[in-house]
Structure 1
């Protein structure tokens, strides 16, 4: 008669540990996959929501980047620590060639399909090159030159027959463009004759959305640079019925 050897306790314990380790590894892989998938979905949802709202407010195509906080958490709590926005278009509002780099902090989204929410604070760096200024001011202006040394811009008007010199300054949180001289064929002319050009110039430097106001403006040899800052500001919800079903589905994640 053959006697079967009893099972060794150590071998059984090793087998159980191996099974448990495999189970833990499988659970970890599934959990990691779920988190990655959730982050991808949340990033698409939140990014689409914020991009559409900011583009609507800023009137320009933009690129949006976010801080280190996972957007899966943002998708759940509707809070964004920081969003960095860069214009991705050749035009910002009425201004051709104006580039904006902005930071928006402490954003709280409404969580509704129409968007909306609150921005805690913001800042922006704006550059506007001379050729963009020329294109913005229209057909009467054929050339723009700027001088960092004296803080003025010279506009060639009527094909260079007239020169208009202007200086941008900040007054009461807004950029004002003042005419320092206007000459036609070397002879001084009343500045009222070129008031329309200056008005377009001024409005282009005042068209900042989302509560942003100018804190500094300076003339460079390439154009104009402005610094902006803003406090607590509302994000306006989209008008009812203006979104497609796809847009509403994305923005519901806000």
Structure 2
């Protein structure tokens, strides 16, 4: 039986240190696992590398225990979003409640996303995804923040378009259309642009939709969001990207 007070104190210190080190190890492992899972979901959806980070407080182990995750941030590499080259997204997610039901894994209270699209990324995207325009007006893309337009330029042609929010996504509305030796009418080109932007910026998961868009000196910046949205169930094929969440 131990009678030395110093020995007892040392044993208690060792026990406490072991407990704390165990908690720290478990916390770090939990964060690594959670960050990786969320990043894989985003990577699957947007086809670009992503990194995720859970908020510092409270401890992630506590968030796991309560199934309530207070804050998650996600950022992508900026290579592309789906087929949109030069697109980058920064996402802030708050108030995630995990509650399994037959139709969902839980809810996300707040999701805000800032999407930036560089001028050169716009040029590459139009060139790669709209063959009818790619060889005509993609020598360069110039932005005009003062009037909120972008100019798609070619050797002898140019199209000035204004990015706007339309039906939850982005649309490039043609303002002026100057094309020499280009036979397609303006209406057909507008339809082609609409189809292009629809595929890029609509039908995002979780009900994410565009709120506003701004032309900057380097490209286009837009704000997307979702509120009180359901997390797709991992079964039933609702969204394969969420299958391993």
Q: Over alpha carbons, which structure has the higher Rg? A: 1
Could you report, residue by residue, the CA deviation over 1:61-102 in whole angstroms, capped at 9, with x for unpaired residues? 211111122122233233211000101250112211011111
Aligned to 1:53: 41
Could you report, residue by residue, the CA deviation over 1:103-127 in whole angstroms, capped at 9, with x for unpaired residues? 0111123589xx9442111111111
Aligned to 1:180: 175
Distance 1:31 1:44 in 2: 20
Q: What displacement does 1:187 show?
A: 9.9
SS at match of 2:23: helix
Question: Residues 67 and 55 from structure 1, CA distance in 2 versus in 1: closer, same or farther, beyond 3 angstroms?
Answer: same
Which one of the candidate residues 118, 125, 128 is aligned to 1:136? 125
Structure 2 contact 172–193 (Cα < 8 Å) conserved: no
Aligned to 1:155: 152
Matches within 5 A, 1:203-242: 203-206=199-202, 208-238=204-234
Matches within 5 A, 1:46-195: 46-68=34-56, 69-109=58-98, 116-138=105-127, 139-140=134-135, 141-156=138-153, 159-185=154-180, 190-195=185-190
Could you report, residue by residue, the CA deviation over 1:3-61 in whole angstroms, capped at 9, with x for unpaired residues? xxxxxxxxxx9x53212211211111111121112112211332233223333344432
Structure 2 contact 213–220 (Cα < 8 Å) conserved: yes
Q: Count residues in correspondence.
A: 229
Distance 1:122 1:198 in 2: 26
Which 5+ residue runs of structure 1 have no aligned equivalent?
A: 1-12
TM-score after normalising by structure 1: 0.77
Which 5+ residue runs of structure 2 have no aligned equivalent?
A: 128-133
Q: What displacement does 1:194 show?
A: 1.9
Question: Residues 62 and 227 from structure 1, CA distance in 2 versus in 1: closer, same or farther, beyond 3 angstroms?
Answer: same
CA root-mean-square deviation: 3.1
SS at match of 2:40: helix
Q: What displacement does 1:133 show?
A: 0.3
Q: What displacement does 1:181 show?
A: 1.2
Greater RCO (CA < 8 Å, at least 6 residues apart): 1
Structure 2 contact 53–73 (Cα < 8 Å) conserved: yes
Structure 1 contact 163–184 (Cα < 8 Å) conserved: yes
Question: Residues 117 and 205 from structure 1, CA distance in 2 versus in 1: closer, same or farther, beyond 3 angstroms?
Answer: same
Distance 1:110 1:163 in 2: 52
TM-score after normalising by structure 2: 0.80
